[in-house]
Amino acid sequence: MRIVVLGTAAGGGVPQWNCACGNCRAAREGSTAPRTQDCLAISGDGTEWYLVNASPDLRHQLTTCAALAPGPGPRQTPLRGVFLTDGELDHTLGLFQLKEAEGLAVWAPEAVLGSVPAREIVASYRPWTWRASNDGVLLDGLRVDVLPVSDKRPKYAADVPAEGPWVVAYRFTDLVTGGVLVYAPCLARWPDGFDEFCAGADYVLLDGSFHEPGEMATATHGDVGSPAQRGMGHLPLAGPHGSLARIGRRRGRTRWLYTHVNNTNPVLDPTSAAHAAVIEAGAEIATDGAVLQL
């Protein structure tokens, strides 16, 4: 199994176009690396590739990833499908960039399949297959297991009469090597069954949106308050119930990497105490373009 971490930032990326927080300024000045919005590419054989989420930065991510380059035919592409963890615009707008793709398959929670705007629009360009991921998937040497993690629905679907789950995590298992990767970029809390879902994984890419429950209010001088941040549905890293405390109690062979990192998160500064706490807990911050092989 080969994995390319195409993007690692939360919505808006780093720098975010309308933000002048410290991390965004540092990225503009070149003192820290810019980050595109979170997206993953995964393959069981190095030939057939699948995306996990389709970020608004997808065109740039695809054109800078050698493994996803088209060819040898003029319109051949190794991309076979997309797995959506949720229906948020930050994870689905990239589907519009793929509208020329023939025969693409999209897996998502059933509630997302029935509400994501891209489905109806893309159908006027190409016939795709849309499939519920609720019960797991077998494909190209990979088994894909699914864990519901949240009923947090996107704003555009606030009035959609559909039951959750609206957000899931995926566990990819290589049926030949036994290698396992878990991808969970959106966790409103540490969900029931998540420890078992991650057990034995080589890598867990985990929601790293916020370090503190109220950091957006601090970083933006109160422009975005703590209640609004909590409503976004992301478990902070810090605190007795944060994800770092959970990881610190589970040291083993699993490598824990944070992704979906918001531009306000102080862990983006490698000299910060927050970044040091991540390392101390035995975790890492994922980087754009990282390649993992299992």
Domain of residue 179, CATH code: 3.60.15.10
pLDDT in tens, 251-261: 678 999 999 99
Q: From CA 53, how far away is CA 51, in angstroms rounded?
A: 6
Residue 279 belongs to domain spanning: 2-293
Full pLDDT tens readout for the chain, 294 residues: 999 999 999 999 999 999 999 999 999 999 999 999 999 999 999 999 999 999 999 999 999 999 999 999 988 999 999 999 999 999 999 999 999 998 999 999 999 999 999 999 999 999 999 999 988 899 979 999 999 999 999 999 999 999 889 999 999 999 999 999 999 999 999 999 999 999 999 999 999 999 988 777 665 555 555 555 556 668 999 998 899 999 877 767 899 999 999 999 999 999 999 999 999 999 999 999 999 999
SS3 label, residue 219: helix
* Total domains, the chain: 1
This prediction has a pTM of 0.93
Do residues 144 and 171 touch, judged by C-beta distance below 8 A?
A: yes
| Burial class for 221, CB neighbours closer than 10 Å (0-12, 13-18, 19+) | exposed
Residue type, 38: D
Nearest C-alpha neighbor of 23 from the set 282, 283, 215? 215
